[in-house]
Amino acid sequence: MPLVTSPAPTFDCQAVVSGEIKKLTWKELHDGKWLVLFFYPLDFTFVCPTEIIAFSDAADRFNELNAKVAAVSVDSAFSHLAWTQMPRNKGGLGKVSFPIIADLNKSIAKQYDVLLEGAGIALRGLFLIDPSGTVRHATINDLPVGRSVDEAIRVIEAFQFVEKHGEVCPANWSPGKDTMKPDPVGSQEYFSKANA
């Protein structure tokens, strides 16, 4: 069964939060806000720090959308902590604005179906979980290509627009662009304008 439209798999975990190793419950992690949960392969690698830094540096943008972010890999919390203590200009993370979750036994990656069994690491999965705990969006990249912070934000904005206005968002929608009424008659206003 696909995760999108289903309740997000829940878990308690150990994570690095604000430079300390802490235990987190699912309720603390997902507390009625949007949650951007993304998996990355390994600490001390190459594409991974670029993603974590990009999401961390966008913390204010996510906060404006009532959204939180958390990252997950199969490394230990001790490895995560050491990586945050390494400077960014040397491939480290420096200060990170969200929890970095340890999935040493790979159970979270299995729950979200992103574990590469043979390699024992997670693919680059990204899941948008709404305030009710439902997975609304999922993308999974192969290892060599990182994700887009702007796209994650755009998709949250689109779902929030739909929930607030009841209209749907066509391809390449971004805030301020036209949406459409989700019915055969109402949608004609969009189609006649978009395809004039």
Closest alpha carbon to 126 in 141, 113, 138? 138
Active site residue 48: yes
The residue to which tokens 């600490």 are assigned? 43
Beta bridge partners of 1: none
- The two beta strands, 67-73 and 100-102, are parallel
Report d(CA 93, CA 119) in Å as an integer.
24
User: Are 67 and 157 contacting, i.e. CB atoms less than 8 angstroms apart?
Assistant: no
Report d(CA 66, CA 34) in Å as an integer.
6
Report d(CA 192, CA 125) in Å as an integer.
37
Catalytic residue among 3, 13, 15, 48: 48
- Would you name the residues annotated as active-site residues? 48
